[in-house]
């Protein structure tokens, strides 16, 4: 595995790129990197602003970890990753498995953001991962270097390939909490029909690449990596702890509504950690006015902008670390468009069943009930369903909590 020989560029994240003087948006691209297997072996080409050290980190921490040439992913496979390199920056992007000459070929597209990461930057990174890559360099090109790349407005650019819909409230909360606690983000979320579309907690490898996955093993594989950074007016940040961080799950699929919140549903009172909760937990359906949610549950524990256009999110910690519910509502109509809940394993299955039935507007079928039971009993890690105009998901996340969400099909 060899990288292009060149001097380290003298570059600072706040320095404008050529032609960026008129760029007023808070997001700017900083560079790109392409890795390909050619006659001389695996080479890494990068634009001037990508340090050689970052290129090596990309190869060791992402390529070696997520692609095994001995057991390649089937064509059509897609995944996203986010890897924070302490104060040096963050790597995030997509892994696609394409078919070429009858074989599976990995295509890595990665963006590099120099410097410490803040909450606003993380929010934009997750949005970008959901949307998809900005550009895809030709992996067959014979060029020895790449030019810097400007990233368009995150809210208006058209991705060249689809991203991975991972941005559930649960996933977002996990990432933000991890960042706030000063731990390094290390997220990997595959989205493939044959595989659970949820993050898989994987410990960070040693400095030495995983045994058996070496440049020699990678022969016959062509990997393309487009590396561009997003700069969001970087502000100084405290040093980040090196503790590795497992990713959090994600749910994605859409659904429709139906109001009526039952006053009989009671918010559970705090209980002993060892006692299973058996009281009802509010399972409000889509279509309910947010004012009705507030009448039943009061002011949310946290409120913030939603990922989907024109939405906001309200999150309630009904029993800290055990029961959480959240609602995404439309800013114009103030009606719920997505309803979510997550439970610790200690919560009684009947409570989860009643909550899910309410979330789906009492449209829970025997198939959906069986799907919930299988996830609860650990016979399955994920179950998706459609009920009329609603879509939903039930899955076990990386915190070993059972996450469920129902949304209007035209939301995502």
pLDDT tens column, 280-339: 687 888 998 888 888 788 889 988 877 677 888 899 998 888 999 999 999 889 899 999
Overall average pLDDT of the 164-178 stretch? 76
Note whether 286 and 330 are within 8 A (CB). Answer: no
pLDDT digits (tens, 9 = 90+) for 198-228: 343 444 444 444 443 333 333 333 334 444 4
What residues contact residue 342 under an 8 Å CB cut-off, 6+ apart? 170, 323, 324, 397, 401, 402, 403, 404
Query: Over 60: is that where the pLDDT of 173 sits?
Result: yes
Residue 405 token pair = 């969400």
At 129, give phi and psi (nearest 5°): -60, -35
Q: What is the mean pLDDT of the chain?
A: 70
Query: Over 50: is that where the pLDDT of 399 sits?
Result: yes
pLDDT of residue 136: 74
DSSP, res 61: I
Report the C-alpha gap between 301 and 319 in whole angstroms.
11
Note whether 126 and 304 are within 8 A (CB). Answer: no
3-class DSSP state of 28:
strand
Report the C-alpha gap between 107 and 75 in whole angstroms.
11
pLDDT of residue 149: 59
Helices (H), 184-242: none
Comparing 91-100, 112-121, 255-264, 342-351, the range with the smallest average pLDDT is: 255-264
In what helix (H) or strand (E) does residue 291 lie, and over which residues does it extend?
helix 290-297
Report the C-alpha gap between 247 and 176 in whole angstroms.
12
3-state helix, strand, coil in the chain (%, to 5): 20, 25, 55
pLDDT of residue 327: 92
Q: What angle in degrees, to the nearest 10, is found between the helix axes of 169-180 and 119-131? A: 140
Residue 260 token pair = 């009526």
Whether the full predicted model's pTM is greater than 0.95, yes or no, is: no
At 38, give phi and psi (nearest 5°): -120, -170
Overall average pLDDT of the 100-109 stretch? 79
Query: Over 60: is that where the pLDDT of 192 sits?
Result: no
pLDDT of residue 34: 63
Residue 296 token pair = 């039943």
Query: Over 50: is that where the pLDDT of 195 sits?
Result: no
Comparing 135-144, 156-165, 345-354, the range with the smallest average pLDDT is: 135-144
Helices (H), 88-137: 119-131
Give, in order, the Cα–Cα distances in Å from 191 to each of 31, 195, 225, 362. 26, 7, 19, 29
Report the C-alpha gap between 336 and 403 in whole angstroms.
18
% of the chain beyond a pLDDT of 90: 16
Please state the domain extents for the chain. 2-7+22-231, 290-408
In what helix (H) or strand (E) does residue 56 lie, and over which residues does it extend?
helix 52-58
Residue with tokens 């919930």: 372
pLDDT digits (tens, 9 = 90+) for 337-383: 999 999 999 999 999 998 998 898 877 889 999 999 999 999 999 99
Query: Over 60: is that where the pLDDT of 53 sits?
Result: yes
pLDDT of residue 171: 76
Per the document, the length of the chain is 412
**Is the model more confident about 231 or about 386?**
386
Note whether 143 and 171 are within 8 A (CB). Answer: no
Report the C-alpha gap between 335 and 230 in whole angstroms.
33
pLDDT of residue 33: 64
Query: What b/e sequence results for 173-196 when a residue is b if at least 16 CB atoms lie within 10 Å of its CB, and e otherwise?
Result: bbbbebbeeebbbbbbbbbeeeeb
pLDDT digits (tens, 9 = 90+) for 72-104: 888 888 889 999 987 778 988 888 888 877 777
At 354, give phi and psi (nearest 5°): -65, -40
């Amino acid at each position: 595995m060899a990288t292009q020989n060149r001097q380290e560029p003298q570059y600072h994240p706040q320095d404008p790129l050529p032609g960026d003087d008129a760029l007023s948006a808070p997001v700017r691209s900083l560079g790109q990197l392409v890795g390909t297997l050619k006659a001389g072996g695996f080479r890494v080409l990068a634009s001037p602003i990508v340090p050689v050290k970052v290129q090596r980190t990309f190869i060791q921490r992402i390529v070696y970890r997520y692609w095994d040439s001995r057991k390649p992913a089937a064509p059509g496979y897609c995944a996203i990753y986010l890897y924070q390199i302490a104060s040096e920056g963050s790597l995030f992007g997509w892994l696609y498995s394409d078919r070429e000459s009858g074989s599976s070929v990995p295509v890595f597209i990665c963006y590099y953001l120099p410097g410490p990461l803040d909450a606003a930057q993380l929010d934009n990174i997750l949005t970008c991962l959901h949307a998809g890559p900005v550009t895809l360099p030709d992996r067959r090109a014979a060029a020895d270097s790449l030019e810097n790349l400007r990233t368009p407005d995150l809210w208006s650019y058209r991705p060249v390939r689809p991203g991975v819909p991972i941005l559930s409230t649960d996933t977002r909360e996990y990432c933000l909490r991890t960042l706030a606690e000063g731990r390094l983000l290390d997220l990997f979320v595959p989205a493939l029909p044959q595989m659970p579309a949820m993050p898989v907690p994987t410990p960070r490898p040693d400095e030495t690449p995983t045994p058996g996955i070496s440049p020699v093993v990678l022969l016959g594989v062509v990997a393309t990596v487009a590396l561009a950074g997003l700069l969001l007016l970087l502000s100084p940040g405290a040093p980040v702890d090196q503790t590795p961080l497992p990713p959090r799950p994600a749910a994605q699929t859409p659904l429709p509504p139906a109001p009526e919140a039952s006053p009989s549903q009671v918010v559970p009172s705090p209980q002993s950690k060892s006692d299973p909760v058996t009281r009802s937990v509010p399972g409000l359906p889509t279509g309910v006015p947010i004012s009705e949610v507030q009448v039943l549950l009061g002011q949310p524990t946290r409120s913030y902008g939603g990922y989907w256009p024109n939405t906001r999110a309200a999150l309630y910690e009904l029993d800290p670390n055990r029961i959480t519910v959240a609602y995404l509502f439309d800013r114009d109509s103030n009606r719920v468009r997505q309803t979510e809940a997550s439970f610790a394993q200690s919560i009684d299955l009947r409570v989860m069943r009643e909550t899910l039935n309410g979330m789906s507007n009492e449209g829970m079928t025997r198939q959906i009930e069986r799907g919930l039971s299988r996830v609860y009993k650990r016979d399955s890690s994920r179950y998706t369903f459609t009920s009329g105009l609603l879509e939903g998901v039930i899955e076990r996340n990386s915190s070993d909590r059972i996450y469920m969400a129902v949304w209007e099909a035209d939301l995502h």
